[in-house]
Amino acid sequence: MLGTYKKSYCRMVRSLKTSTRFLSMLVITTLLFLSGLPASSQDSTFLLRKDDRVRGDQRAPVTLLEYSDYTCGYCEKFFEETWPLLFSDYIQTGKVRLIYRDFPRAINGPSVDTAMAARCAGEQGQYWSMHDRLFASHRKFSRDQLQKQAEDLRLNIQQFNKCFQEERYMESIYQDRMEGGSIGVRGTPHFILFLTHNPEAGPFLVIPGAFPYTSFQEQIEHLLVKSSKPNNSNPL
């Protein structure tokens, strides 16, 4: 099964290279609504999954879905410059929750190793702590350095290493990557904003890159206003 995912993933990476060159020539100055997503993503089921890693209040009216790679420079830029403001203004206040999904840019090496390290730390209740450490590490991602991060978090190292060496979450990481590609993700970071309790009502707001805080703020406020309307305030 894992071999099948890996072969499909390799084909997807090759096919994305051409489209990525095209996208890199675009100057994206606006945020795209649902009509900007591929037809295959009109079904909103991809937005919410039982195995999602969620940060913030589960009942937050707005969800920010992020596809990212710990080895990506622009993802690090978002984490250092934009995320602290989003966290204090919207996550901690219960207005927005974050869902993080892996979008490794390679089929092996640090892109996958870091995703695996975070997932294995998650088995011991330290997913978000490892997530933050990885983005703050300035891309120091050798396997020895990943183990040092686990030690600093005081994880059970034997359990962590066993999880890592077994590649326990490899299939899930590849699934995240393939799903992202199928809905139009072509680079990292990539964000989708939507109403948590009624995503079908739309709109889906796509932010295709490490845009400044004000871009996120404007669109979040738009969705918060929409969520306050009676027909969009259904609880989970």
Q: How confident is the model at residue 9 (pLDDT cuts 50, 70, 90)?
A: very low
* Domains detected in the chain: 2-15+28-232 (3.40.30.10)
> Where would I find the H helices in 25-67?
none
In 38-188, at which residue ranges do the beta strands (DSSP E only) sit? 53-55, 62-68, 96-102
Q: How confident is the model at residue 33 (pLDDT cuts 50, 70, 90)?
A: very low
- Give CA–CA dist 177/108, Å, rounded: 13
| 184-217 exposure pattern, b = at least 16 Cβ within 10 A, e = fewer | bbbbbbbbbbbbbbbbeeebbbbbbbbbeeebbe
Three-class SS of residue 29?
A: coil
What pLDDT, in 10s, does the model give residues 54-82? Answer: 999 999 999 999 999 999 999 999 999 99
Q: Any idea which of 64-68, 104-108, 161-165, 228-232 has the lowest mean pLDDT?
A: 228-232
Query: In whole angstroms, how far apart are CA 137 and each of 80, 169, 174?
Result: 11, 22, 24
Cβ–Cβ under 8 Å, residues 226 and 194: no
Cβ–Cβ under 8 Å, residues 111 and 141: no
Mean pLDDT of the chain: 84
Residue 3 has pLDDT above 50, yes or no: yes
pTM for the full predicted model? 0.81
Q: Which residue's structure tokens are 């609504």?
A: 33
- Give CA–CA dist 27/7, Å, rounded: 32
Residue 196 has pLDDT above 90, yes or no: yes
Q: How confident is the model at residue 2 (pLDDT cuts 50, 70, 90)?
A: low
- Give CA–CA dist 74/219, Å, rounded: 20
Q: How confident is the model at residue 32 (pLDDT cuts 50, 70, 90)?
A: very low
Of 108, 99, 3, 97, nearest to 57 (Cα)? 97
The pLDDT of residue 46 is 76
- Give CA–CA dist 131/167, Å, rounded: 18
Residue 17 token pair: 């290279």
pLDDT > 70 in the chain, percent: 78
pLDDT > 90 in the chain, percent: 68
Q: Any idea which of 1-5, 118-122, 157-161 has the lowest mean pLDDT?
A: 1-5
- Give CA–CA dist 70/135, Å, rounded: 6
The pLDDT of residue 30 is 36
